[in-house]
Amino acid sequence: MFTRRNLLQSASASVALAGGLLPPAANAASVTLSPGVPAGLDSSATMATLPGKKPLIKLSYRPPNYESPLEYFRTPITANDEFYVRYHLADIPDIDTRTYKIAVGGEGANGRAEITFDELKEFPAYEVVAVNQCSGNRRGLSQPHVPGVQWGYGAMGCARWKGARLRDVLDKVGLKTQAIEIAFDGADGPVFDKTPDFIKSLPVWKATDESTLIAYEMNGGTLPHFNGYPARLIVPGWTGTYWMKHLVTINALTRPQGGFWMKPAYRIPLGEFPVVARFTTQEDATSTPITEMVVNSLITSHADGAKVRVGKITVGGLAWDAGYGIRTVEASTDGGGTWSAATLGEDLGRYAFRPWSFDLTTKHGKNTIVVKATNRIGQTQTATLLFNGAGYHNNVMQSVTLNAG
């Protein structure tokens, strides 16, 4: 029970390859994996190039799951062709903006509307610089390991998104007072019709937040095909699972969305993580949907084990959280005994990556640096993993050892 699209792809694959229309994607460059990911990735992960992208770390071809290598995180904005790719389902259509429409309605709406791509661009336009991070970023570092896409550090990126406010689009149909959630579907879908389509919902309060957008521009350009062309949802502060790509359907609901991807998928144990934003209509006695990102940081100037000179060096990286804003980044060179403040860099907004840098003087041999970020509501990173079966919310303080000599 394949879709027509796959049938056509399958039948035409040899022709296309012979004609050079689908360039082979292999790249001889070796892969540098994040420390701690499963050993099986040593043989299966490769650097590979999707159409329109620079080489990314290929974790799975189909559905495509590709993470950004560390060197793409040396600026607070991630370039479109360096941005990671994450799909649950393998049928990803090419979309023509001349026929593309977003259907807006649902039993919680007063009316229905169809919005063309041109009409979407006629709404007042807003911009936000925001981090998109997969809920499972760093899942591969979980101990014990848990099944899933074994992401290292790179299932995230930060871009300047431009689009219409979702609430302006919802105003076209009007919400009933009984509306509790807004549900979203994208044009991509499963290979088999019995596989649950990827549908997500947001509480009305988050859907109508001024920063929640339907974006049709990313860093001043169109969205890459593999990042949701021509329009996707932008949900600043919340994990990537809500940022529906290739958005085609918006439904206001008066009852909780009941699909697989809301439950049991994308759940965290109730109360395990210090998150403020709650999704109460989806909570049950033991679990809640993942919502906002936890505060985190990453050293991006040096990979673990990098060779450096003896003497003064600068280590730098990024910090981010759910939009409360980064208050401090601190570094320790004595295993967490004492901490010194890093220098914060350019502030592109509370939802953006915040760059930071830290000067230190290395001694001959191994030099270990631990970094932690704290946000403006006092949340900080954990020293040890808060384990959960899906491998979400890993914000363990990163430790990097540099070899000076």
Which x/- pattern, by CB under 8 A, does the window 253-272 give for other proteins? -------x------------
Q: Is 93 in the site for other proteins (CB under 8 A)?
A: yes
Q: Is 51 in the site for other proteins (CB under 8 A)?
A: yes
CA dist 393 to 144, 147, 160, 353, Å?
15, 15, 24, 17
Query: Least distance from C-beta 19 to other proteins, angstroms?
Result: 13
Under 8 Å between Cβ of 319 and 373: yes
Residue from 31, 47, 48, 370 binding other proteins (CB under 8 A)? 48
Assess whether the previous peptide bond of 147 is cis (omega < 30° from 0): no
Which x/- pattern, by CB under 8 A, does the window 361-390 give for other proteins? ------------------------------
Residue from 91, 181, 292, 330 binding other proteins (CB under 8 A)? 91
Q: Is 191 in the site for other proteins (CB under 8 A)?
A: yes
Q: Is 187 in the site for other proteins (CB under 8 A)?
A: yes
Q: Is 10 in the site for other proteins (CB under 8 A)?
A: yes
Residue from 35, 36, 38, 105 binding other proteins (CB under 8 A)? 38
Under 8 Å between Cβ of 312 and 360: yes
Closer to other proteins by Cβ: residue 144 or 337? 144
Site for other proteins (CB under 8 A): how many residues? 59
Cα 248 off chain centre by: 20
Q: Are strands 307-308 and 343-344 parallel, antiparallel or unpaired?
A: unpaired
Residue from 2, 117, 324, 339 binding other proteins (CB under 8 A)? 2
Closer to other proteins by Cβ: residue 9 or 399? 9
For the chain, the distance separating the N- and C-terminal CA atoms, rounded to the nearest angstrom, is 60
> What distance in Å separates the CA atoms of residue 68 and residue 75, rounded to the nearest whole number?
13
Under 8 Å between Cβ of 385 and 398: no
Which x/- pattern, by CB under 8 A, does the window 119-158 give for other proteins? -------------------------xx-xxxx--------
Within 96-177, strands assigned E span: 101-105, 113-116, 125-133, 156-165
Other Cβ atoms closer than 10 A to 162: 18
Under 8 Å between Cβ of 184 and 234: no
CA dist 165 to 148, 160, 254, Å?
33, 15, 21
Residue from 31, 47, 50, 268 binding other proteins (CB under 8 A)? 50
Query: Least distance from C-beta 41 to other proteins, angstroms?
Result: 6
The DSSP H or E segment spanning 296 is strand 296-299
Q: Is 192 in the site for other proteins (CB under 8 A)?
A: yes
Q: Which two tokens stand for residue 126?
A: 């807003």
Residue from 163, 186, 256, 345 binding other proteins (CB under 8 A)? 186
Residue from 119, 127, 168, 197 binding other proteins (CB under 8 A)? 197
The DSSP H or E segment spanning 6 is helix 4-18
Contacts of 67 (CB under 8 A, 6+ apart): 56, 57, 59, 84, 151, 152, 153, 154, 155
Query: Least distance from C-beta 405 to other proteins, angstroms?
Result: 34
Q: Is 189 in the site for other proteins (CB under 8 A)?
A: yes
Range in contact with other proteins (rule: CB under 8 A) among 9-17, 170-178, 328-336, 354-362: 9-17
Residue from 32, 35, 60, 176 binding other proteins (CB under 8 A)? 60
Within 134-195, strands assigned E span: 156-165, 181-186
Q: Is 26 in the site for other proteins (CB under 8 A)?
A: yes
Beta-bridge partner residues of 175: 109
> Tokens 């394949």 correspond to what residue?
2
| Cα angle value 18/23/26 (rounded, 5°) | 120
- H-type helices in 161-253, by residue range? 166-171, 204-207
Which x/- pattern, by CB under 8 A, does the window 209-248 give for other proteins? ---------------------------------------x
Query: Least distance from C-beta 385 to other proteins, angstroms?
Result: 15
Closer to other proteins by Cβ: residue 205 or 260? 260
Q: Which two tokens stand for residue 18?
A: 């012979």
Residue from 64, 76, 224, 230 binding other proteins (CB under 8 A)? 64
> What distance in Å separates the CA atoms of residue 178 and residue 239, rounded to the nearest whole number?
26
Q: What does the binding site for other proteins look like in residue numbers (CB under 8 A)?
A: 1-7, 9-10, 13, 22-26, 38-41, 43-45, 48-51, 58-64, 90-93, 144-145, 147-150, 185-197, 248-249, 260
